Amino acid sequence: MTVVESVLSHTPESVRSVLIKHRELLKFGIVGGTTFVVDNGVWYLLKLSVLEDKPTTAKAIAIIVATIVSYVLNREWSFRTRGGRERHHEAALFFVISGLAVVVNLIPLLVSRYGLHLEVPNVSRLVQETADFLSGSIIGMLLAMVFRFWAFKKWVFPDELGQRRRDLTLRR
């Protein structure tokens, strides 16, 4: 049983038809959850061991590892019936869009900190950290996820190129 079939078998019937209709989005979400765990797992593993005094370097390495995992899982699973460009061109587009998504993710945090001045000494440390979490980890992540899903489908794994990939799969 595949991961998606397993998830669908534990889902109420009323929701199941919507998830089947939006199967790519469900797979994209599962990949996102997986890469979130990879990102944070690698970050904390490095930050609490060999890069204890360099948390930013540890985070950068973790982001790179998670982005590579994301590319492989999205190409081979989420959007496996789409795309069809040469792999180096597809990968370059994927990483450019992923870089742009980082900028999209940062916009709410920048607005919170520097537009709304939700930072110490203007507010308490608790308010600052809550605002950072909501703007950076929730709102920013959701905006970046929507942007990536749309951009990956439109430019990295377009359906019109997918016909070529589906034809190659059928010939094998």
Convert the pLDDT of each residue in 14-32 to its tens digit: 888 887 788 888 889 999 9
Span 64-73, average pLDDT: 93
C-beta contacts of 105-111 below 8 A and 24+ residues apart: 105/136, 105/140, 105/141, 105/143, 105/144, 106/136, 106/140, 107/140, 107/143, 108/135, 108/136, 108/139, 108/140, 108/143, 109/135, 109/136, 109/140, 111/135
Q: Say what the pLDDT of residue 45 is.
A: 93
